[in-house]
Amino acid sequence: MKYIFPAAALVLDRVLKHKARSEHLPEVPCPHLEFHHIENDGLAGSILRNRPALVKWLPCAALGVNVPTLLHGFRKQSRPAKCGIALLLAGSASNVCDRLKNGTVTDMLRFPTAPGKLKTLVFNLADFMIFFGALLTLLRTVQSTSNQKG
């Protein structure tokens, strides 16, 4: 039951990516969010796009190396840390799946009223899963470390 949110976010990410690739994205009744489909052939913000082999295999290697690290002592983690780890792994797996299947990652969420360069970037739900999963995991780790010292 505790992994419903990460699982639901993963399914929603896969559905949105499929809809974006088939050009069937709905209109968003919010001026702060819009669907804008791109296929990102680079890493975060299209970096390394001229190195397709590296872009394809680097995320796979990173996921493979980090899974054992994240799952080490998983049962002993707090519920928020477990949720963070689940979000991080689900988001990473979704983007790696895209990269292996299509050679690109499907992005479709844009925030046109965001400040600065942020308004030009396009994301997918997995990107937010990775960000918030890493943030939640990091916060719980820092909190656990400070509790052990104090």
What's phi and psi for 85, nearest 5 deg?
-65, -45
Contact 13, 94 (CB under 8 A): yes
150 pLDDT above the threshold of 80: no
pLDDT at residue 123, rounded to an integer: 94
pLDDT > 70 in the chain, percent: 93
Question: How are the residues of the chain apportioned to helix, strand and coil, as percentages rounded to the nearest 5?
Answer: 65, 10, 25
pLDDT at residue 69 in the model: 78
Q: What pLDDT does 148 receive? A: 67
Alpha helices, H only, 22-149: 52-71, 79-102, 125-149
The alpha carbon dihedral of 40, 44, 26, 111 has a sign of: negative
Interval 56-61 mean pLDDT? 86
Task: Name the nearest CA neighbour of 70 among 79, 81, 57.
Answer: 81
Residue range 72-93: mean pLDDT, rounded: 86
Mean pLDDT across the chain: 87
The pLDDT score that the predictor gives to residue 77 is 80
pLDDT confidence band for 90 (50 / 70 / 90): very high
